[in-house]
Amino acid sequence: MTTTTTSTAIVQFIDTADGPFGILADEGGAVIASGWTDDPVSLVERLRPRDRPAEIREGETAAGDAVRAFYDGDVEPIMTVPVRQRGTEMQRAGWEALRRITPGSPLSYAEFAAALGSPTAVRAVASICARNAVALFVPCHRVLRTDGTLGGFAWGTDVKRSLLAREAAA
């Protein structure tokens, strides 16, 4: 199999109200992994082995400004940040659909499955959310259990609750 490893990635960490937020971006500026951590290894491990960068260096990313804006109350800029995720056709369609969920108007897994045209694929859409490597920029936190409870989130339900409250207030 041909390797698709990015040669170099930029990592940036930003202090937020929910703790440190790490961004891993490729050489073109697209976010390839992100989340509430100050550990670059935990970001890299969100990627499939063949998609992991050979080298990581610290620096500034364009995405950093969008994260700061989000935490200052402007939730829209995160949706304009370029992202790059590799996956199946269904995963890619799901990640794109997550970016279209209106901030402050979360969907249930069942509603999200229906929006993707597969109303019975609730487990599949839960898997799409779980495999999302670019948290915040692809807002999997906007998907809830059918009963309205938070469900899981790779970065913890306290962070998920905070993000949803921030978006509802915006």
Residues annotated as catalytic are 140
How far apart (Å, rounded) are the C-alpha atoms in residues 2 and 124?
27
CB atoms within 10 A of CB 118: 15
As beta bridge partners, residue 23 has 12, 34
Secondary structure (DSSP) of 83-107 = B-----HHHHHHHHHHTTSPTT--E
What backbone phi and psi angles, to 5 degrees, belong to 152?
-85, 165
130, burial (CB in 10 Å: exposed 0-12, middle 13-18, buried 19+): exposed
Return the structure tokens found at 2.
């041909």
Return the structure tokens found at 70.
């989000």
The C-alpha angle with vertex 14 and arms to 161 and 84, in degrees rounded to 5, equals 80
